[in-house]
Amino acid sequence: MTSTLDARAAGARRLKDKICVVTGAGQGIGAATARRLGQEGGKIVVADRVAESAARTEKELRDQGVEAKTVLVDLGTFAGAQSLMTQALDAYGRIDVLVNNVGGTIWMKPYHLYTEEEVKLEIDRSLFPTLWCCLAVLPIMMKQNAGSIVNVGSQSVRGLYRAPYAASKGGILALTKVLSMEYGRHGIRVNTVSPGGTDIPDRVTPRLMIEPGVMAEDVDQAEEFRREMVADSRNQQALKRRGTPEEQAAAIAFLASDDASFITGEAINCSGGQ
């Protein structure tokens, strides 16, 4: 599947010379998206908070002849989001595409087992980076009178054992709809891709890492809850398999490109029919 998608991308230049900021680009869907947008002609700003994974993605892009720049930043703060957009703007003079990919569940367990602090940590990881990055990039895109924002949602909004994460992703769906209505007059499109279960073979940053070098403790029965969650997701699917990061990146690239020039406020369910 990966080679087929890459081959298709190699023949397309829908994002030629577009400046594309991809958050969480060090691994998984973010890294696959950076590669795909680069294959389609984009110049990529690799945004991540982990130097090792960001450097790996930048090297892959440069080895493929893609112009790329790494920005190491904590997008859990508005100051971090502002720094990212400022550095991208200073380097390239504009921002054409923003992919808000940062997020990911920390714990998988029934909601009553979460502590107050754990709920806050889930929201901080999976909602605030998208809120802050949109807030930081919109004035830039308004001056350009153009731009495409693609947010990464999730099918967790109809699943088990990730209620705080699902609430974050539900918030992203609402944010997408509202921003599309508010900023369409400025030539800015805002859409979401909502992945289902996706295998991440290149994971460098563990799910339980709540900040660089700091690991959270997992819950008792964690593996049992994970298996039940995965089974529930699979039972809802038409295709009965997990997706790949490249499949998610293909949907993101479409929404980022001018092929989707009359599409805004939409969410693509990229979950194998969940």
Pairing of strands 188-195, 267-270: parallel
Q: Is 92 a catalytic residue?
A: no
Q: If residue 19 lies in a helix (H) or strand (E), which one and from where to where?
A: strand 19-23
In sequence order, which residues have a C-beta less than 8 Å from that of residue 264 and are 6 or more positions away? 180, 184, 189, 190, 191
Distance CA 156, CA 216 (A): 21
Give the residue from 19, 72, 13 showing the smallest Cα distance to 44.
19
Please tell me whether residue 45 adopts helix, strand or coil conformation: strand
Q: 92, 114, 161, 165: which one is catalytic?
A: 165
Measured in degrees and rounded to the nearest 5, phi and psi for residue 81 equal -65, -40
- Just list the catalytic residues: 165
